[in-house]
Amino acid sequence: MIRIYILYKRITNKIRSILYQRAAIHQLKKAKAIIGCDARFNGPTELTINGHLFIGKNFICNSSINKCIDYGHSKIVVMGNAELTIGNNVGISNTLIHCYKHITIGNYVNIGAGTIIYDTNFHSTSWQDREERTIDIERAKIASINIGNHVFIGARCIIGKGITIGDRSIVAAGSVVTRDIPAGEIWGGNPAKFIKKID
């Protein structure tokens, strides 16, 4: 009986994986996104693509508790006229990417579970603007994000607007990145600070 149940779970999980993969690719093609070969969506991924999206080859998006080390799912939002570019051989897990203007993620980048990347404040920093919801949202500050090649971002990090992370750098788990990180360095903390150079 146990063997039958295990076999049943394996088959249903396989079918679910195929359906999630097909649904994501179909939605991206419908949105006229450019997708490289061998893009994989493991688990349910929320996609809202109104702008321009380019995904390089060998992209892996893991989503849900069954595929990641934490709860949640991956979500990619590209607003109208915004541009999100994801390079080759990039892997993300239960990651939220919210692109209002321009976000670039280089090649060979790994982004840990629960990480949030957004290029906007979402709201104005002026208290007067908060009296009118429309103005509050319209006056939010927006600035591009650039993540270099071979970067590793640990689990549950926050990468805010206007940030550049240089090639080969590492962002320690749980960090809040509020300023640029040069190439070949390890940073961590809240706010993230320099820890050491990478040999």
Question: What is the Cα–Cα distance from 162 to 141, expressed in whole angstroms?
Answer: 10
Annotated active-site residue 123? The verdict is yes
Quickly list DSSP for 56-113: -TT-EEE-STTTSSSSS-EEEEE-TT-EEEE-SS-EEES-EEEESSEEEE-SS-EE-T
For residue 181, list its beta bridge partners: 165
Instruction: Determine the Cα angle at 90 with ends 116 and 81, to 5°.
Output: 60
Contacts of 48 (CB under 8 A, 6+ apart): 75, 76, 77, 78
The structure tokens 């982004």 sit at 111
**Cβ atoms of 84 and 54 closer than 8 Å:** yes
Burial group, residue 137, by CB count within 10 angstroms (0-12, 13-18, 19+): middle
Active-site residue, selected from the candidate residues 52, 98, 123, 150: 123
Asked whether the beta carbons of 32 and 18 are under 8 A apart, the reply is no
Neighbours of 76 (CB within 10 A): 24
Give the residue numbers marked as catalytic.
Answer: 123
